Amino acid sequence: MLHLFCPYCQEHREEDEFHYRGQAHIVRPKDPDALSDKEWGDYLFFRKNPKGIHHEMWYHVSGCRRFFNVTRNTVTYDIYETYKIGEMPAVTDKEETE
Amino acid sequence: MSNSATFDFSARAKNTQGITRRETPLHHVTHKNVDEAGVRFCEASFYAHLTLRGNPENADFVAGVEKVLGTALPLTPLTSRACERCHVFWIGPDEWLILAANLSPGEIETSLRAELTGHFSVVDVSGGQTLMTLSGRAVQQVLQKSCGYDIEAEFPVGKVITTHFAKATVVLHHQVEGSYFMVVRRSFADYVWRWLVDASDEYGLSVSE
């Protein structure tokens, strides 16, 4: 079981208090009408599935009921950091930033 | 096991003439009290429960709430404040739960609405949840086997947590040493009560008004 640090409650809680809510930092296009169908489809449906570092959203559904972000390694299940919505990750994959 | 007394919850359905019949979520169950009870249960009926939301960085909001409630809003996560009028629990960074025994929820809501301006929300949730109080020498053991949360090490007096209790979401508050408040949704009240009867069986359970 994962042990997640909720940045709003400021303490660790067990995984069953949380829900996984998919990839983090997906920005809604400002002008959807200007997008091609492919770009719109990519925004709506296509998600990363990395082997290694992944930034993902979690929901503290049975606690403070806030969304926050987690940087997690999908291979080792290591959790590097958790941070509030609106903040940027401190730990990133090298390839990702290039 | 000696069963000394039967506690009849049905007394908690108020049926005064001319007033709408009010029932607590546990009005329908009965229980035989045990002499040497390790766990003491009480349904604190007909409390006012209000959910208050607003921006804690807005000084007018914080000051207005303090003026109405008589106690400051707990702004630190997982803390609570209490005064003679009410208890205020931190639920989230912009959300609080107000509990009051002797005030009508309408009274609190009206005075909050009169005092506060701008972007805030106050909702009367009294009918949707109920307050249970748990105490007794074995209460910590019962909580420990019902919650994944580390009740023994991480739950000092005054702290408030929203967590799982036997898979139901509850708000737990360590009120005074060895005595806990538990706010449960109305639809989960019967289930949590039945769980408590079972979990407290080995220590003995007694129920009081």
Domains of chain A, CATH where assigned = 3-97 (3.30.2270.10)
Report chain A residues whose CB lies below 8 A from the CB of B149.
Answer: 13-14
Nearest to B190 by CA among B163, B166, B164: B166
What's the pLDDT tens digit per position in A5-30? 999 999 999 999 999 999 999 999 99
User: Does B48-126 carry CATH code 3.20.20.70?
Assistant: no
Identify the CATH number of the domain defined by range B3-45+129-208.
3.30.1360.120
Size of interface A-B (CB pairs under 8 A): 39
Is there a contact between B148 and A16 if contact means CB atoms under 8 Å apart? yes
Mean pLDDT of A70-84: 95
Å between A81 CA and nearest CA of chain B: 19
**pLDDT digit string (tens) for chain B, length 209 residues:** 445 677 877 777 776 666 677 889 998 888 899 888 999 999 999 999 999 999 999 999 999 999 999 999 999 999 999 999 999 999 999 999 999 998 999 999 999 999 999 999 999 999 999 999 999 999 999 999 999 999 999 999 999 999 999 999 999 999 999 999 999 999 999 999 999 999 999 999 999 87
How far apart CA B203 and CA B206 sit, in angstroms, is: 10
At residue B168, the pLDDT reads 96
- Nearest residue of A to residue B170 by CA position? A62
Is there a contact between B92 and A17 if contact means CB atoms under 8 Å apart? no
Å between A12 CA and nearest CA of chain B: 9
Is there a contact between B78 and A10 if contact means CB atoms under 8 Å apart? yes
For B77, the closest of A9, A62, A65 (CB atoms) is: A9
CB B22 within 8 A of CB B13: yes
At residue B9, the pLDDT reads 78
Start-end of CATH 3.30.70.1520 domains in chain B: 48-126
Is there a contact between B169 and A11 if contact means CB atoms under 8 Å apart? no
**Beta strands B39-44 and B205-208, pairing class:** parallel
**Entry field: residues in chain A:** 98
Start-end of CATH 3.30.1360.120 domains in chain B: 3-45+129-208
